[in-house]
Structure 1
Amino acid sequence: MVPTGPVARRYHDLTAHSPDSVRASGHELDWENKPFPFKVYTDIPGLHLPREIDVLATPALAAIGGEGAAPPAGLTLAALTSLLYYMAGVTKRKTYPGGGEVLFRAAASTGALYQTEVYVVAGTVEGLPPGVHHFCPGDFTLRRLRGEDARAALAEAAADATPGRRGATLVLTGLVWRNSWKYRARTYRHLFWDGGTMLANALATAAALGLAPRLFTGFVDAAVHRLLGIDGAREVALALLSVGPETPPAASAPPPAPIEHATLPLSRHVVDEPLVAQAHAASALATPEDVVRWRAGRAPVPTPAGARLIALPPPDPRAGRALGETIQRRGSTRSFAQTPLGVAELGAALWATSRPVPGDVPTGLVDIYMSAHAVEGLPPGTYLYRRDAHALDPLDTGEFRRQAAFLCLEQPLGGDAAATLFFLSPLDAVLAAFGERGYRLVNLEAGLAGGRAYLAAYALGFGASGLTFYDAEVVRFFLPRAAGADAIFVTALGRARGAVGDVLGLNTIAAPTRRS
């Protein structure tokens, strides 16, 4: 049996928010030292990507459910470019009166800090030489860090043949300081929330393109870090996503030699967060054999359902906007109108959050609790979503807008929303099954579910926003059903004040020429 995770438990408890801890933090932002929003390699020329991307006409809900185009004959640079754009590209710009500017990206990120980086380990990609490439959304380029086909090395690190048999594998990493500049030690949670949110876009886009994505959360960390040329402390690997039709296996090669390239400094100085470093180091896997053993973990048994379930309307995966348009419109809603959602709309969003993930370990480690405030046909109150039955398990009835706002760090969004989703996990049971790395799993799964809720909301014409929370207060609010659980993430859903897709007065950046 994989041993329980005391480091993860300690990290989670030490970084929990409470009304007292938030008021006593005293943390002030050093705006003169804010990290630069893009990682830029200064000693490698950039390969400018094609200015043409796929329109992604597949309905967003269908793509979330795994539907899409027929598998192509092979992976092309055009398809890879579309995937990179819709998961990590720049989609919106906000200009401030004083001249400042923020570039918003396809997937939401805590504080719009965008610490998730994307690397491409390419082998058989038509139009792209083999090697390890870094994607820079700022100038829409790939920079080649290694010249050899490294897929076999990545397959060995993942203890699975798939990365060696696909045209490419995307590696998501987290640049710790870009997020911890604002959020300090709580950043370790954010790395996986935001990585999961980006994966929601990536999985749907890859499905729409017929690229048969497969996610890996188990891998030899040091081997992946060495392959990318990152230090494994200030920048860490989060997940692998293999895409494209199967190819002949990549030829075996000697272990990759160390690489080191010059990059633009993030800021004048970096402040390290020991708790983040400890949590990540403790959850690392050292050998392929460790990876295989770790994958043998099994999800905890779900909480028994109540006596009476409320069936939700069957979702229509063809309803709503196409995926490409949905991602272009998506933004974090900053004000809800307190007007109701239809129960079918809510049901579709809940269905989307819980679609199966094609990956190396089971999902279902996170439960979706809900405070419903204004849903037509549903009494206000609290519920637990039963994904297996696509039904709601009633917990309590009542008007809980005020309580929901309080739980979300006293932010009005949590109470103004039509429904606020609280992602909870039986964390100790997950750590018993998956060890320290189980902490990565629950935060990644919650972020992915929240990202899918975003996509479903914007596909159907309403809004969404990810929120942070008072940890213990959330669990207390959902007792007794939530006994033994921990709060992981929150997503609020509702009608936005103002037009959805024009949130915050943003200007949409025209995508590179889009092809049908």
Structure 2
Amino acid sequence: MCLEEFLHNLHFDIEKASIPDWEVDWEDKPLPYKLYRGLPVVPFSLEVPLTLEGQKQPATPDLSKMGHFLWYVYGLTQFSQSVFSLDATDHSEVMQSYRRFAPSGGALYPNELYVYLKIKDLPIGVYHYDVAHHRLVLLREGNFDSYIAKALGNRCDVSSCFGTVFVSAMFWKNFFKYNNFSYRLQGLDAGVLIGQLLEVAKRFGYESGVYFQFLDRAVNHLLGLAEREESVYAVIPLSVEPTIWSANGNEKARMVAAAELCRELTSIEPSHYVRSQRVKEYPMLTELNEMSMLEDTISFTMIGEEEIGNGGGQTVALPHAERLSYDLASVCRQRFSPDMDFIMGKISQLDLANLLYEATDSFLYRNDLESAYQKHEPRVSVNICLYNVEGIPNGAYQYDSTTHALHQVLLGDHRLLLQSGMSLYNVNLLQVPICIHVTGVKDYYKNTFGYRGYRIQQMEAGMLVQRLLLLAAASGMGGHPLLGYDSNLCDEIYKLGPQGKTSLIQIPFGPYRPRPWLMGGLYG
């Protein structure tokens, strides 16, 4: 199967992309976090603030504040146990998982965080965030400003940043369960994590932005990653003051090659533990990762200027949106993914307007995919099926973020049709007033970014998903991201085919009943 066909099937016909007769070996599952062995560690304080309001004016963080930052981004926040009945004899099995504020498919968390830090009370160097123990593990000590700047194509003044975050995907961590479908999940999960990181950075007063294009092998070499096992997907510099940010580079004429840059540093192969004894091969993921790599900085590119369009149809103007003021820490604790817990309730136009406006407006962020001075159609956008929303006819709509309005696509109650398109009946869509589909171009900008465009698109979709989930929680609603749905059916509802677009993920939103369960957080 060629890679283009594989990615097509991954989205539109998952059975063809999946490995036949796949059986999950639960006894040999990997850990949901990476554990390094025999390296220096720096523990963080286990005392974390339970609110992010009233933060002091931005200042270069010390070790304690960096610990708070990383915990809110990706730390362990909840221990969960689920009991499943296996047979009629009431023989049951307990499945346990560790949760974080950023959701993940199957709670498997295939992504890892690495940080290059220049802060007080810490040797300058490259570290891994050890989630299990809430500490840093030192991988390389030293100043790597010049190396990282070159790996980014000299498009960022790394010397003015106190830190740089690297988000990786560790392939086996969810491949063991989802086989080839894990490739789609790894990009989405990375995006959700990045979305959480950007929101937390705002609360701490840090300047940030996302680089999707960098010299992969040079960055992986810096971190000591085995590329057939794990690879970096995004690089995010952090600073307390606005820093030089360029999408196309101030020294683009000075081409940097990954192979040449790697020779500046000796190789490291730090030992780590994954628990699995029988790690299987994942050739499609390995080949896609290989084909997505950038070997020199001349390969960095941007999307050209595009006109913003809409799907036509009658327009429904939404009321002026009010900026939501909320404590992110509290909202993170409240966020809940209902399944059979949704209950039908009437949604006001203002609630809908606030959700859509705030999510898409806050999603604007610095990146290396476009020029900041050009108008672009959003690379990922929102289509929505509504039922029982105050003053808006039931139907399918396209949300236009530039005019803050809904463009009518197809009137009617689509809940039963959407329910029929689900592969699992774990959510009762008949009880859901809002069903959002994050959409993007069907060819994932392949002509511009090659196969790398697919994972970039999935990450941007995940970033928008996290914004929507946080705002829904702030409004008292729940949201449940779903990939087990019929993309072709949804594309027909919204008439996306002629636009060259497709739905990337489905998220029902609405009121929900409290679940009768015993739960506790790993905080306060």
Match of 2:357? 351
Identity %: 23
Match of 1:287 in 2: 296
2:504 is aligned to 488
Q: Find the counterpart in structure 1 of residue 62 from structure 2.
A: 76
In the alignment, is the contact (CA less than 8 A) between 1:475 and 1:482 conserved in 2?
A: no
**Is the Cα–Cα contact under 8 Å of residues 132 and 145 in structure 1 kept in the other structure?**
yes
> 1:190 Cα shift?
1.0
Partner of 2:314: 308
Alpha-carbon spacing, 1:284–1:509, altered in 2? closer, same or farther (3 Å): same
Q: 2:191 aligns with which of 180, 186, 196?
A: 196
Give the deviation of 1:311 after TM superposition: 1.9
8 A contact 1:404–1:420 mirrored in 2: no
Q: Answer whether contact 1:475 1:483 (CA < 8 A) is retained.
A: no
Q: Which residue of 2 aligns with 1:3?
A: none
Instruction: State the partner residue of 1:227.
Output: 222
| Unaligned stretches of 5+ residues in structure 1 | 1-5, 59-67
The RMSD of aligned alpha carbons is 2.8
Q: Which is greater in Rg?
A: 2
Distance in 2, Cα, partners of 1:254 & 1:248: 28
Alpha-carbon distance, 1:27 to partner:
3.1
Structure 1 residue aligned with 2:90 = none
1:447 alignment partner, SS class? helix
Q: Which residue is equivalent to 1:131?
A: 125
Residues 481 and 382 of structure 1, relative CA distance in 2, 3 Å threshold: farther
Counterparts of residues 166-315 of structure 1 (less than 5 Å): 166-246=161-241, 255-291=264-300, 294=301, 296-298=302-304, 300-315=306-321
**Does the residue aligned with 1:438 lie in a helix, a strand or coil?**
helix
Q: Pick the aligned partner of 1:120 from 109, 112, 115.
A: 115
Distance in 1, matches of 2:444 and 2:193, equals 26
Partners of 1:57 and 1:324 within 8 A in 2: yes
Instruction: Report if the CA contact (8 A) 1:121-1:151 is conserved.
Output: no
Partner of 1:475: 491
Q: Which moved more, 1:207-216 or 1:403-412?
A: 403-412
Does the CA-based 8 Å contact 2:218-2:262 persist in structure 1?
no
- Alpha-carbon contact 1:464-1:492 (below 8 Å) kept: yes
Question: Is contact 2:19-2:179 (8 Å) kept?
Answer: no
Deviation at 1:170, TM superposition (A): 0.8
Per-residue CA deviation, residues 444-501 of structure 1 (Å, 9 max, x unaligned), is 1111111111110111111011100223232223226664223322222111221xxx
Q: Shift of residue 228 of structure 1?
A: 0.7
Residue 438 of structure 1 aligns with which residue? 453
CA offset at residue 202 of structure 1? 0.7
- Write the letter of the residue equivalent to 1:220: L
1:325 aligned residue (312, 327, 330):
330
Residues 111-140 of structure 1: CA distance to partner in whole angstroms, max 9, x if unpaired?
1101110001112x1222211111121111
Any unmatched runs of 5+ in structure 2? Answer: 84-92, 245-260, 371-375
Q: Map 1:24-63 to 2 at 5 A.
A: 26-58=21-53
Deviation, 1:23, is 11
Q: 1:53 to 1:164 in 2, by over 3 A?
A: same
**1:423 counterpart (438, 443, 447):** 438
- 8 Å Cα contact 2:167/2:232 also seen in 1: yes
Where does 1:327-342 land on structure 2 (aligned, <5 Å)?
A: 327-335=332-340, 336-342=342-348
Higher RCO structure (Cα 8 Å, ≥6 apart): 1
Report the CA distance between 1:432 and its aligned residue.
2.2
Q: Which residue of structure 2 aligns with residue 64 of structure 1?
A: none
In the alignment, the residues of structure 2 paired with residue 162 and residue 455 of structure 1 have an alpha-carbon distance, to the nearest angstrom, of: 31
Separation (CA, whole Å) in 1 of partners of 2:12 and 2:166: 30
Question: Which has the larger displacement, 100-109 or 154-163?
Answer: 154-163
Q: Which residue of 2 aligns with 1:63?
A: none
CA offsets 1:310-342 (integer angstroms, 9 cap, x no match): 1222332244x3101111222322231122332
Distance 2:12 2:521 in 1: 36
Between 196-205 and 299-308, report the one with greater CA deviation: 299-308
Asked if 1:377 corresponds to 2:391, the answer is yes
TM-score (norm 1): 0.87
* One-letter amino acid matched to 2:474: A
